[in-house]
Structure 1
Amino acid sequence: MRVVASSLLGLSFICISAWAVETAPITTVAPAPQAMTTTTPQTLAANKPNLLPAAVAVNPNGLPQEVKPLTAEQLAKNKALQDAKVKALVKDQATRLQQLEKANLDALSQNQELQLKNDSLGVQVQVLQSERSAQMFLYGAATIAIGVLLGFLIASYVHTKRRRQW
């Protein structure tokens, strides 16, 4: 029994350790030959606004290669472009905010109108229900009155018929 228990315990440790190891898929990517391309400061600023290093060119091997640093004019232009983009975004967001506020006010006023309409319809339902119950009460009273009247007529007819027979 001890042998079986120890072998099961050892087997479970081996299985657990085998499952714990993750294997990464093996992929091989061959570098594609690239032509000599340069990136402009505008594309660098658009892609990475926090970094303003020197312009980078890519050699045929795909490795970055340093080019001359940006001048003060180029930095100022980049800063002006970024400021213009930010101002345009702020203006766009301000107009959207105004549109949302207007739509919100319209929705609130429509909500109040619908609540008032709902309240008035609720009152109308209550009035109709009370009228219906009053109508049923009158129908019941009329039925009882007709029943009593017919009872008296039938009783008097039967009573007079019996007197004649005696």
Structure 2
Amino acid sequence: MRVVVKSLLGLSIICSTAWAEPAGTAATATATTTTPVTPAAIPKPGIIAAAAGASTSTQNPPQTPEDKKLTAEQIAKQKVSEDAKVRAMVKDQATRLQQLEKANLEALAQNQELQLKNDNLGVQVQVLQSERSAQMFIYGAATIAVGVLLGFLIASYIYTKRRRQW
């Protein structure tokens, strides 16, 4: 129990530090509340790493004033490259979707086939059980018939034996 409590406390401490804001963002938040902010000073949000297919360690570094001075051609090239990446991702996702749909159809067909086999086996089990119960009924009837026949034979033997004695 102590180990569980210690591990939960350690996990909560680790999680709380992982989600804490860095000191730089807290300072900018207080600075923005006291001084007016120009639109150029607000950092632009980047593409979410999970949506872009990139790892979290490959985020774009903060832009410097030198990086902001891009020409129209450079901006157009960046947009074209980003569009190409998005198209490639969409195409990849489309092929994965087709593969998943194909696998799903195959699994459904196999599931239906297995259900039919299961139903057939269930019917076979019921037939075998009914045959077994019918066989037991026949054995019981034969046993009773043999018992009755033996009863008559023994009774007739005893009856004839008593008659001889009289």
1:131 counterpart residue number: 131
Larger radius of gyration: 1
Following superposition of structure 1 onto structure 2, how do residues 95-114 of structure 1 map, counting pairs within 5 Å? 95-114=95-114
CA distances 1:87-131 after superposition (whole Å, capped 9, x unpaired): 110011011001100000000100110111011111111111111
1:118 counterpart residue number: 118
2:46 counterpart residue number: 48
Higher relative contact order (CA 8 A, sep 6+): 1
Partner Cα distance (2:78, 2:99) in 1: 32
Following superposition of structure 1 onto structure 2, how do residues 27-46 of structure 1 map, counting pairs within 5 Å? none
- Tell me the C-alpha RMSD between the 2 structures: 2.5
Partner Cα distance (1:123, 1:134) in 2: 16
Q: What is the aligned residue count?
A: 111
2:156 counterpart residue number: 156
2:75 counterpart residue number: 75
Partner Cα distance (1:138, 1:49) in 2: 80
What secondary structure is seen at the aligned counterpart in 1 of 2:70?
Answer: coil
- TM-score after normalising by structure 2: 0.61
- TM-score after normalising by structure 1: 0.61
Partner Cα distance (2:118, 2:129) in 1: 16
Equivalent pairs: percent with the same residue? 76
Partner Cα distance (1:48, 1:77) in 2: 17
Partner Cα distance (1:112, 1:152) in 2: 60
Following superposition of structure 1 onto structure 2, how do residues 57-72 of structure 1 map, counting pairs within 5 Å? 66-67=65-66, 69-72=69-72
Flag as ranges the 4+ runs of structure 1 deviating above 4 A: none
1:86 is aligned to 2:86: yes
2:141 counterpart residue number: 141
What secondary structure is seen at the aligned counterpart in 1 of 2:69?
Answer: coil
Code of the aligned partner of 1:104: N
> Against the structure 1 CA distance between its residues 49 and 146, is the aligned structure 2 distance closer, same or farther, given a 3 Å change threshold?
closer
> Against the structure 1 CA distance between its residues 150 and 111, is the aligned structure 2 distance closer, same or farther, given a 3 Å change threshold?
same
The runs of 5 or more residues in structure 1 that have no matched partner are: 1-24, 30-44, 57-65
Q: When you count strand as a share of all residues, which structure comes out higher?
A: 1
**Offset at residue 132 of structure 1 (A):** 1.1
1:41 counterpart residue number: none
Code of the aligned partner of 2:76: A
What secondary structure is seen at the aligned counterpart in 1 of 2:157?
Answer: helix
1:19 counterpart residue number: none
What secondary structure is seen at the aligned counterpart in 2 of 1:70?
Answer: coil
Partner Cα distance (1:113, 1:91) in 2: 33
Following superposition of structure 1 onto structure 2, how do residues 17-28 of structure 1 map, counting pairs within 5 Å? none
